[in-house]
Amino acid sequence: LLHCQFDLLSLPEQAILFRNKLETMASPVSWEYLPGYTHESEMTAIANGQEAVTQAIIAYVRSNTRKWAYLPLITGG
């Protein structure tokens, strides 16, 4: 879950409720606080691979996915 310092008023509360629900279901939760970001700047930053928010997403995906690639067979007709 990503939580921005200057998020829209209801978003931090929603994120906390969602995190708590996931934890009660014994689901692992990754919680990232993004100082200096608004909800809008967080969404815009995702387009830049060097931004902290994008790096947090990439790190999460890398740590929670398998390390193999699926390459479908291509057969000639």
State how many domains the chain has.
1
pLDDT band at 1 (very low <50, low <70, confident <90, very high): confident
Q: Looking at the domain assignment, is residue 42 inside a domain? A: yes
pLDDT on residue 68? 66
Q: Residues with Cβ < 8 Å from 64, sequence gap 6 or more?
A: none
Print the domain residue range for 10: 2-63
Residue 73 maps to a domain: no
Helix, strand, coil share (%) of the chain residues, nearest 5 = 45, 15, 40
Q: What pLDDT is attached to residue 25? A: 92
In this prediction, residue 62 carries a pLDDT of 85
The residues pairing with 34 across neighbouring beta strands, listed in sequence order, are 4
Of 70, 9, 4, nearest in space to 40 by CA: 4
Asked, for residue 31, whether it belongs to a domain, the answer is yes
pLDDT value of position 70 = 64
- Tens-place pLDDT, residues 20-76: 999 999 988 888 888 999 989 988 998 998 988 898 888 888 887 776 666 666 666
Q: What is the mean pLDDT of residues 12-22?
A: 90
